[in-house]
């Protein structure tokens, strides 16, 4: 009986947390199908009057999840009438995909070196990696800008792509994963005459596919949502990604903002839903037993 009560309590708490976290997502999607007038009526502050004195005592907002009339005009505006959305969408793709692919390659190789090689200063170097990873990006933003300015990369996509490719998060994640691969696999491959590149591509990477997939998803989501870096490094508005476009939508275009936000979330949701199992298993770093 005690265990059952405990399970019910935990289930209730988790259900409440899931509801809280999903509410903004559901609200954004449902509001994207409302007209501008209906959204305005929902979020305008309404006076709450005291029934005895008929005086206004407080204000509140009406928040509805289900639209009275389904409207697709804002999707037409975003996808067809205002080409800026699609233009900046492809800007995001141009920036994010090279970062994800490049960081996957660089981080997996560096993680293999840290996990399976023994060299002088290995622990000290990895400690520096961890220190850089724990720093907020605002700390490294100024040095990155100064270097990009010296190299003439300001207002160039490379000023964002290069720091992203060499981000240390992927190294930390994959190193922890690769350390759980038994060294006997590598020793057996060496006895068969395999070199490190062959061992890495034919043995280590296939065994780390869940970890690599988890890193791919997390890096994609993190960089898809970047705002500060493009605002600082990309002076040309036409080069800025979609995340910056969403931050500049004015309050009079709330329907447009909800529709654009819904479309903006789709790539992240689809990637997450497709790789959910890889993400969970990769983060848990499930070990490989001999």
Q: What is the pTM of this model?
A: 0.80
**In terms of Cα–Cα distance, which of 245, 226, 192 is closest to 83?**
245
Per-residue model confidence (pLDDT) at position 61: 61
- Which string of b and e fits 250-278 if b means at least 16 CB within 10 Å? eeebbbbbbbbbbbbeebeeebeeebeeb
Provide DSSP, 39-96: HHHHHSEEEEEPTTT--EEEEEE---SS-SS---HHHHIIIII-THHHHHHHHHHHHH
Two tokens at 28? 């954004």
* Residues of the chain scoring pLDDT < 50: 50-51, 286-290
Per-residue model confidence (pLDDT) at position 93: 92
Q: Per residue in 158-210, pLDDT tens? A: 999 999 999 888 888 888 888 888 888 888 888 888 888 888 888 888 888 88
Per-residue model confidence (pLDDT) at position 98: 95
Q: Per residue in 221-242, pLDDT tens? A: 889 988 888 988 998 888 889 8
Per-residue model confidence (pLDDT) at position 46: 55
First-to-last alpha carbon distance for the chain, in angstroms, is 41
Per-residue model confidence (pLDDT) at position 209: 85
Per-residue model confidence (pLDDT) at position 120: 85
CA distance 264 to 259: 9
Domains of the chain: 2-50+57-61 (no CATH), 74-284 (1.10.3720.10)
How many other β-carbons are positioned within 10 Å of the β-carbon of residue 245?
Answer: 20
Per-residue model confidence (pLDDT) at position 103: 93
CA distance 177 to 218: 15
**Secondary structure letter of residue 288 according to DSSP:** -
């Amino acid at each position: 009986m005690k265990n059952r009560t405990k399970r019910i309590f935990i289930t209730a708490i988790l259900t409440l947390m899931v509801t809280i976290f999903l509410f903004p997502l559901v609200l954004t999607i449902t509001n994207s199908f409302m007209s501008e007038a209906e959204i305005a009526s929902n979020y305008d502050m309404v006076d709450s009057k005291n029934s005895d004195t008929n005086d206004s005592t407080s204000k509140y907002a009406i928040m509805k999840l289900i639209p009275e009339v389904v409207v697709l005009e804002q999707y037409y505006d975003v996808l067809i009438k205002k080409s800026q959305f699609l233009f900046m969408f492809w800007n995001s793709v141009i920036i994010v995909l090279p970062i994800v692919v490049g960081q996957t390659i660089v981080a997996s190789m560096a993680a293999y070196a840290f996990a399976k090689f023994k060299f002088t200063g290995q622990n000290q170097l990895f400690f520096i990696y961890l220190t850089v990873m724990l720093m907020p990006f605002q700390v490294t933003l100024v040095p990155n800008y100064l270097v990009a300015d010296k190299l003439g990369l300001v207002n160039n996509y490379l000023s964002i792509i290069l720091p992203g490719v060499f981000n240390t998060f992927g190294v930390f994640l994959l190193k922890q994963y690769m350390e759980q691969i038994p060294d006997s696999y590598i020793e057996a491959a060496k006895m068969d005459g395999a070199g490190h590149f062959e061992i890495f591509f034919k043995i280590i990477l296939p065994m780390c596919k869940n970890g690599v997939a988890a890193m791919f998803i997390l890096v994609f989501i993190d960089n898809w949502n970047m705002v500060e870096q493009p605002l600082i490094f990309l002076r040309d508005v036409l080069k800025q990604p979609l995340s910056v476009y969403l931050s500049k939508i004015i309050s009079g275009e709330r329907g447009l903002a909800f529709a654009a936000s819904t479309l903006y979330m789709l790539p992240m949701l689809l990637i997450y839903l497709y790789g959910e199992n890889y993400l969970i298993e990769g983060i848990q770093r499930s070990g490989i037993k001999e």
